[in-house]
């Protein structure tokens, strides 16, 4: 059931999600594991059991029984570990790498490129098509030109700003045709696309942040194939088979299991998608040429995101009005020292700087339904129309 959080209409689920109901009930019960799972006494054994059970559950849920899985603090760490860990492992064997990333990837990915380059790797940015789709033929051609011993491609499954989906079958084909290694940034899949937990075992690595689907903040996980060249980023006590040292977080890990269970049981993609598309259609019908949906022409879109450019509206006034009226939405642009920075994703799609500064992102909960969509469309339109 859709929940009102402190009477707020919270429509920024691509940024983060409130706790899943099962997680908040469990936390308030107070019966949470606290002991170090490495400790041999009863409470330690309990923490260890919690982690072992959650690990099996997560592997089964995503159909990746043969992959290794390690927990971390969230996708930024998981992505850094996978990509820099790949490069470090190759470098140790005197192998040079080529790293490919797109012009729409999250900064958690793109910020690693200069580090790799400084360390002697070749980096390659590939561009997306007009509405955010990936041009597989072009990417295959570019990867095939690489001369390095090892090639790693980052493939963002679902774009966090636009909601454009790149089918995993394309990643599998890229791997088949080029023999490259692939890391999938899968952060925006759970609760947003239909087959969010059907991953392909041929792909080398997948990273998730669990706060995006109802677990507590500060926990995420990465799957890696056993033959993926990998060197841990965090070393120390050798926990998690040495893949990520540091005392494990049994409370966070159990919250991942609960949130995943809830999503598996309750998620109805069709209903969420119909509610989202209803709002989009209403906005387009009423606002006509004053609204542009960034990914309107893309081949595959998720079911919870509307990323739109509103023309002839003062964005700061609109955002303030939404906030005062208890509607919380995302913006495509980052705001630094009072200046709105254009959305990198919109620039990559070919929009102008001005357009890329005037985007709003609505991203709904997995429980978003038509009844709430009707009320939301009405409220949004009233507000948008009331402002110049």
Ligand X SMILES: Cc1ncc(COP(=O)(O)O)c(C=O)c1O
Minimum Å gap between C-beta 177 and ligand X is 25
Please give the Cα distance from 374 to 370 (Å, whole number). 6
Measure Cα distances from 70 to 54, 56, 164, 200 in Å: 11, 12, 27, 18
Q: Which tokens sit at 46?
A: 């309990």
Nearer to ligand X, 108 or 362 (CB): 108
Q: Which of 76, 240, 358, 363 binds ligand X (CB under 6 A)?
A: 76
Minimum Å gap between C-beta 361 and ligand X is 11
Q: Is 188 in the site for ligand X (CB under 6 A)?
A: yes
Q: Which of 9, 68, 133, 185 binds ligand X (CB under 6 A)?
A: 185
Chain CA centroid to CA 299, Å:
19
Nearer to ligand X, 165 or 319 (CB): 165
Contacts (CB under 6 A) with ligand X, residues 136-165 = 156, 160
- x/- map, 271-290, ligand X, by CB under 6 A: --------------------
**Helix (H), strand (E), coil (C) string for 175-218:** HHHHCCEEEEECCCCCCCCCCCCCCCCCCCEEEEEHHHHCCCCC
Contacts (CB under 6 A) with ligand X, residues 96-115 = 106, 108
Span of 68-76, 228-236, 276-284, 340-348 interacting with ligand X by CB under 6 A: 68-76
Nearer to ligand X, 165 or 283 (CB): 165
- x/- map, 17-56, ligand X, by CB under 6 A: ----------------------------------------
Q: Which tokens sit at 92?
A: 């140790």
CB-based burial of residue 81 (10 Å sphere; 0-12 exposed, 13-18 middle, 19+ buried)? buried
Edge-to-edge strand order for the sheet containing 291-293? 9-11, 327-331, 359-363, 305-310, 291-293
Helix (H, G, I), strand (E, B) or coil at 113: helix
Q: Which of 82, 162, 209, 367 binds ligand X (CB under 6 A)?
A: 209
Point out which residues bind ligand X (CB under 6 A): 74-76, 106, 108, 156, 160, 185, 187-188, 209
């Amino acid at each position: 059931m859709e929940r009102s959080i402190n009477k707020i209409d919270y429509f920024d689920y691509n940024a983060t999600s409130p706790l899943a109901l099962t997680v908040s009930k469990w936390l308030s019960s107070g019966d949470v594991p606290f002991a170090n799972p490495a400790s041999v006494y009863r409470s330690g054994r309990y923490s260890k059991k919690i982690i072992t059970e959650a690990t099996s559950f997560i592997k089964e849920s995503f159909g990746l029984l043969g992959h290794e899985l390690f927990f971390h603090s969230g996708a930024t760490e998981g992505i850094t570990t996978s990509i820099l860990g790949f490069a470090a492992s190759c470098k140790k064997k005197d192998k040079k790498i080529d790293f490919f990333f797109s012009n729409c990837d999250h900064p958690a990915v793109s910020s690693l490129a200069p580090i790799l380059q400084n360390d002697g790797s070749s980096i390659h940015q590939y561009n997306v098509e007009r509405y955010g789709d990936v041009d597989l033929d072009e990417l295959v051609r570019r990867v095939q030109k690489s001369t390095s011993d090892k090639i790693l491609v980052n493939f963002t499954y679902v774009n966090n700003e636009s909601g454009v989906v790149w089918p995993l079958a394309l990643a599998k084909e890229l791997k088949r045709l080029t023999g490259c290694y692939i890391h999938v940034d899968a952060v925006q899949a759970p609760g947003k696309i239909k087959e969010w937990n059907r991953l392909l075992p041929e792909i080398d690595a997948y990273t998730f942040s669990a706060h995006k689907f109802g677990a507590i903040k500060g926990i995420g996980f990465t799957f890696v194939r056993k033959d993926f060249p990998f060197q841990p980023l965090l070393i120390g006590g050798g926990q998690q088979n040495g893949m990520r040292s540091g005392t494990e977080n049994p409370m966070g890990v159990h919250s991942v299991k609960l949130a995943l269970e809830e999503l598996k049981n309750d998620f109805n993609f069709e209903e969420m998608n119909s509610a989202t598309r209803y709002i989009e259609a209403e906005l387009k019908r009423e606002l006509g040429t004053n609204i542009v949906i960034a990914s309107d022409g893309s081949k595959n879109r998720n079911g919870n995101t509307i990323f739109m450019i509103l023309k002839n509206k003062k964005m700061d006034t609109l955002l303030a009005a939404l906030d005062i009226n208890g509607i919380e939405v995302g913006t495509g642009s980052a705001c630094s020292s009072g200046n709105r920075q254009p959305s990198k994703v919109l620039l990559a799609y070919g929009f102008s700087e001005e357009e890329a500064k005037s985007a709003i992102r609505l991203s709904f909960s997995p429980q978003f339904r038509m009844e709430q969509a009707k009320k939301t469309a009405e409220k949004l339109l009233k507000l948008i129309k009331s402002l110049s």
